[in-house]
Chain A
Amino acid sequence: EVQLVESGGGLVQPGGSLRLSCAASGFTFSTYPMNWVRQAPGKGLEWLSYIDSSSSTIYYADSVKGRFTISRDNAKNSLFLQMNSLRAEDTAVYYCARFPGYGIDVWGQGTTVTVSS
């Protein structure tokens, strides 16, 4: 079964850091570009970041550029999102997502990040 499982969410104070992980299984992870997408409570979907299969091409949304870093470890079938300088507006459910190039065809269940003092 093709599966993505996120972990690492939680409660963090403003200005703090958190590292999200996504474990992939059931497919050849090393051949797929991946994305992170988030959804604030009661709001719509926001695309955050893209990484290609070899980590050679990376993109970010302006809202997280300079604060968030996407990375992957193909040997461990894992995707990561390092989040620094967190703000209240970063509170959301964060989804790991497989992006074969035409759309996001596999989503994780999401991990919740709450930024609050």
Chain B
Amino acid sequence: DIQMTQSPSSLSASVGDRVTITCRASQSISSYLNWYQQKPGKAPKLLIYAASSLQSGVPSRFSGSGSGIDFTLTISSLQPEDFATYYCQQSYITPYTFGQGTKLEIK
């Protein structure tokens, strides 16, 4: 199985900050990498698919990059509604494994 490792596991930041979350795959997954946002008690929400494509309706302050093994999710200017947990997921091969999550908290 492909292991997905996110870093950091938690992060404190302020409104307006630029934030980067990293996801590393245990083997190459080309660009089959997705990013989700989850708020407490809610279902996850797709932000980025295919490593860098912005899902419809998602604010442009979210962006993704990378291919192969290393990927990043960047939030250019944090807004209050962005404080949540973020997950990466590979959809290259089953099992479609998720990273362990990155909890983004208010500083």
Of all chain B residues, the one with the shortest Cβ separation from A107 is B43
Q: Using a Cβ–Cβ cut-off of 8 Å, how many residues does chain B contribute to the interface with A? A: 25
B44 touches A102 (CB 8 A): no
Q: Chain A contact residues (Cβ within 8 angstroms of B): what range?
A: 20 to 34
Cα distance, A47 to B100, chains bound together (Å): 12
B45 touches A102 (CB 8 A): no
**Interface 1/0 per residue, B41-57 and A, CB below 8 Å:** 00111101110010100
Cα distance, A107 to B89, chains bound together (Å): 15
Which residues in A have some Cβ–Cβ distance to B below 8 Å? 35, 44-47, 50, 59, 61-62, 95, 99, 101-105, 107-110
Can you pick out 18 interface pairs between chain A and chain B where the beta carbons lie within 8 Å of each other? A44-B101, A45-B36, A45-B89, A45-B101, A47-B95, A50-B96, A61-B95, A95-B43, A102-B34, A102-B91, A103-B55, A103-B89, A103-B91, A104-B34, A104-B44, A107-B43, A107-B45, A109-B43
Q: Which 9 A-B pairs have the closest CB atoms?
A: A103-B34, A103-B49, A107-B43, A59-B94, A102-B49, A45-B98, A47-B96, A44-B101, A61-B95
